[in-house]
Structures are given as C-alpha cells and as structure tokens.
Amino acid sequence: MIAWTIYISFLGMAVLMCLPRENARAARWVAMAAALGGLVLSIGGFLAHKPGAEITTVAKLPWIPSLGIEYHLASDGISIVLVLLTGLAAVTGILFSWNIEHRAKEFFAFYLALIGGVYGVFLSFDLFLLFVFYEIAIVPKYFLIAIWGSTRREYGAMKLALYSFVGSAMVLIGLIAAFTVAGGKTMNLIELAKFPFPASFQNWAFPLVFVGFAILAGLWPFHTWAPTGHVAAPTAASMLLAGVVMKLGAYGALRVAMTLFPLGLAAWRHEIALLAVIGIVYGATVALVQRDFKFVIGYSSVSHMGFVLLGMMTLSQIGLSGAVLQMFSHGIIAGLLFAVVGRMVYDRAHTRELSELQVMNLSKALPFASVTFVIASVASMGLPGFSGFVAELQVLIGAWQTFPALAILAGCGIIIGVAYTLRVILKAFFAEADTPPVEPGHPLDPITTPERIGAVLLIGTTLLVGLYPRILLDLIVPSLETPLMQTMWKGGAQ
C-alpha cells in the first residue's frame, strides 16, 4: 500500500504534463489530489505499522539480475515517520503555493517529481534503487528554484544543484566500491550490511559516503548551498528543501553510511560530531546578524540539522531516536517558518529586509501571520510542549553521555537560537514604532483560507508530537534494533 505514495506522485506528474497549457486551477487541484493521496496513504501506512524490530517488505522483484539489483521497497518505523513527514510537507507546500499562476502546470509537475523521489528514497532497501530515487529528487529542485524563485535564483539553484550532485557523486563512488568489495552479487542494503568490509576500506569509504549524503543535510562546512538555496527558492520549494530534502541527506547518512561501515563510523564519529556542533553554533550565530528575514530561517535550518547529525553520532538509543524525531520536528517547524516568511509576508510586503519590515507594523497588518510565526518560533526555540523540545532534549542527553564538552556547546547553540528568534520576531512583527508606522504603498491582501489550513495543520502536528512524543517514538525506538541496524551497534558502540 505505502508504495503507492511513490506511484501516485509520479502519476500526478504524468497527468499534469498532459493537461492543456496554462490552466493553473486544474493543475493545482491535480497536484493537491496527488499530494493528498500520498498523505492519506502515508497515514494509512503509519496506522497499519506494527511497532517492532522488523523491516516490512513492500515489494521485492528482480530488476537487473546480472548485477543483483532488485526493486526492493520496504519500511520500518524510521521510514514510516519520514514518509508521513513527506506527505504532510507535500500537502502543506501546495496549500502555500495556491497563488502560483505562472507556469503552474510545470511547477506542480516538478514539485510532484521531487515528492515522488523523496518517498522513494525513504522506502528503498536496495542501494541502487535508493540512489536512483535520490538523484530523481535533485533535478526538479534546480528548476523549481531557477524558474519560480526570487533573490539570485539562478545562482542559488545552480549552487544547490552542483552541491547535491557532488554529494551524490561521492556517494556513488562509495556505493560502487562497496558493491565490488562485497563480491558484486547484491545491492540489497540488509545483505550488504552483513558483509564485513575490511577496516582499511571502511576508513575511507565511510567519510566519503557519509559526507556525500550529509552535504544535503547541511553539514558544516558544506552547508553553504542551504541558505542561498532556501532564500532563492519559492515558498513551496524552500518548505520542501528544509522540510524533507535535508532529511534525505540525514536519512542516507544514517541508513547507508552508518549501517554499512560501522568501523569507519567508530573511527570518524568524533570528528563528525565536532562538525555537527560547529554547524549548530555557527548557524545560530550567523542567523543572529542577518538582514534578510529568510536568511535567518535558512541559517537556523543549518543549526537545527546539526542536532540531527550530532544525535546520530552519539550512537546511543536516546540520541539516535532524538535525531530521527528532530528530522520530523524540524521538517514541520521549518516548513511553517518558511511558509510565513515566503508566502504570508514576502508575497504581500514584497520585501524581506528586516529594516523595511520593521516599519510596516506587520503584527497589526497581518495578525494571523504574526501569531503563526510566534508559535513556530517558540517551537523552533525548543519550548516544552512542542516537538522541537523533545527531540533536541533527547539529542542533548545522548550527547552528554558521549561527548560532554560538545553537548555544552550545543546547548549554547540553543541559547543563541533563542536570541536570534526573539530578534527576528521583534524586528519583523513587533517593532517599537519610534515613528508612526509607514503604510505600505498598497493594502496587504488578507491571509487566504489555504494558508490558514496549512498553518493549522503544521502547528497541530508539532503540538501533537510535542505533547505526546510517543506517537512517533514508539515507532522509531524499536526500529533502531532492526537486523539492518545490528551491525552498527555491534561495530560502533564500543
């Protein structure tokens, strides 16, 4: 069933391509139907999933027998959680792009291609298949940003595409090498994870594959595509970028690099944990001094993704489950933040400069936007009651047990996070009006219904997970014990 999330997205893309030109309304509804279908299927998969340490095979067919490549889709708790996130991000992304009129058909076609690729990555248990979906997700991003984006869109799009492609080239080298060393018989992730790769091989293959994936997760110092890409992207694309695409990187790093090369992981985890913490602190500090509203959110994404990577490096159950929860939580919260900045504010005020927003008195002009943003920011700061708190707390506890010094630094990152969030709330929405507020040259359009629905959906999710985290943790925690993850625990924990 859950495999249909992939097919329905590509089906939607195919239908869109056949639509007559420039019928934005029809295009929107087709895209919405496909995304909603995906969401319903993923919720179905979520409800049907029985927590446990098994990997449920969804489809397993021989694909290219001469290389031992199979069409192998399967799911465990981690992939179910991320599929659910994708479904939510896809639907809300369309809600927040309801106003796209320019080349709407193509916009949603690229959008659904990206979504289909993301679903595919989360459900693939054959390395070749996973890589195929991973690359399918790269190309649409370029076009989404380059065609429909804003500030320096062609530069941002090309930078993002090249970073992604360099990352996937690194991954590909590692995968082909691993495939060959293991005898060239199978691409099955579970089978390959059982193969004892020599330590000397793992020592170079692990950083290659891990960093290749982690480039997309915004690992410092390879994060520079993220702020420019997020800023250049249209709202829906930045929601997807921060919401799910960065998770692709983290997921790949966890699922492939860490399970295949546990000895390499043990050798490199301190270095990578250090990079993750630098990312947390650096992202937060840089966000503190940005003038562009969207850059603040862009850098905050780098900072929050640092927690995911740090959590993975702790190699403890609490840290890892925190990392996965943080992937989900950040996907929802960053999506919401980008929706407010890109759609609610920028599409109306036509500026993102904090100094210009400061004089517009947006809390009066756009009360819904300011309330949404305040909720999203307190969730992002890690206030108890929201999903970010549970996730980052778990990561910090895990990190405290393994790398106490780094945990303290990461904690400082959270404090800086509070600072930049408060600063941006104040500047953008609640500026102290020394001078009487300057009316924008034109009245701001009221917030539309699709935007309200989208915002409520995302806020509701982060609250639900924040108040009752077990709804996801019950799926995630047992999945850390699947046969696939066993080698990682055995090889790396000591």
Partner 1 sequence: MTGDYFALLRLLAPEAIVALTALIVLGVDLMRGGRQTLPSRMSAAAWITVIGCALSFFCPAPTGAGLALASGVFTSNPLIQLAKQIILLLTAATAVISISGRFTNHAGEYFSLLLFSTLGMLFLVSADNLLIVFLALELTSLCLYVLTAFDKRSVASAEAALKYFLFGGVSAAFLLFGFSLIYGVTGEIQLTAIAGSLQQSNGQDSLIMVALVMVVIGFGFKVAIAPFHLWAPDAYQGAPTPCAAFIASGSKVASFFILARLAFAALAPSAGNGEWARFTPGWMPVLALCAALSMILGNVAAIAQSSVKRLLAYSAIAHAGYMILGVIAGGYAGKPAQAITPLLFYVSTYALTTLATFGVVMVVESDQGNDRLESFGGLRSRSPLLALCMLIFLLSLAGIPPLAGFFGKFYLFTAILGAAPNDLGLLWLVIIAIAASAVSFYYYLQILKQIYVVDSPAGSSNLKVPVTVTTMAVLSAVAILLLGCVPNILIDRFEAAVRLAGF
Residues that bind partner 1 (CB under 8 A): 17, 21, 63-67, 106, 128, 131-132, 135-136, 138-139, 142-143, 146-147, 154, 158, 161-162, 165-166, 169, 172-173, 176-177, 179-181, 183-184
Integer Cα distance of 338 and 137 in angstroms: 20
Considering the complex, what minimum distance in angstroms separates the CB of residue 29 from partner 1? 21
Considering the complex, what minimum distance in angstroms separates the CB of residue 428 from partner 1? 30
Considering the complex, what minimum distance in angstroms separates the CB of residue 22 from partner 1? 10
Integer Cα distance of 451 and 24 in angstroms: 17
Beta carbon nearer to partner 1, 127 or 315: 127
Maximal C-alpha separation, the chain: 74
Query: Is the CB of residue 84 less than 8 Å from the CB of residue 90?
Result: no
**All residues at 6 or more sequence positions from 249 whose CB lies less than 8 Å from its CB, including other chains:** 167, 213, 214, 215, 216, 217, 218, 219
Beta carbon nearer to partner 1, 54 or 135: 135
Nearest CA to 476 among 60, 81, 50? 81
Beta carbon nearer to partner 1, 138 or 281: 138
Considering the complex, what minimum distance in angstroms separates the CB of residue 161 from partner 1? 6
Beta carbon nearer to partner 1, 12 or 454: 12
Q: Which residues of 81-104 are buried (b: 16+ CB within 10 A; e: fewer)?
A: bbbbbbbbbbbbbbbbbbbbeebb
Beta carbon nearer to partner 1, 1 or 17: 17
Beta carbon nearer to partner 1, 106 or 347: 106
Beta carbon nearer to partner 1, 249 or 331: 249
Considering the complex, what minimum distance in angstroms separates the CB of residue 44 from partner 1? 26
Strand 69-75 to 56-64 pairing: antiparallel
Q: Is 5 left (phi over 0), alpha (psi -120 to 50) or beta?
A: alpha
Considering the complex, what minimum distance in angstroms separates the CB of residue 34 from partner 1? 19
Considering the complex, what minimum distance in angstroms separates the CB of residue 154 from partner 1? 7
Q: Is 183 left (phi over 0), alpha (psi -120 to 50) or beta?
A: left
Residue written as token pair 């509203």: 293
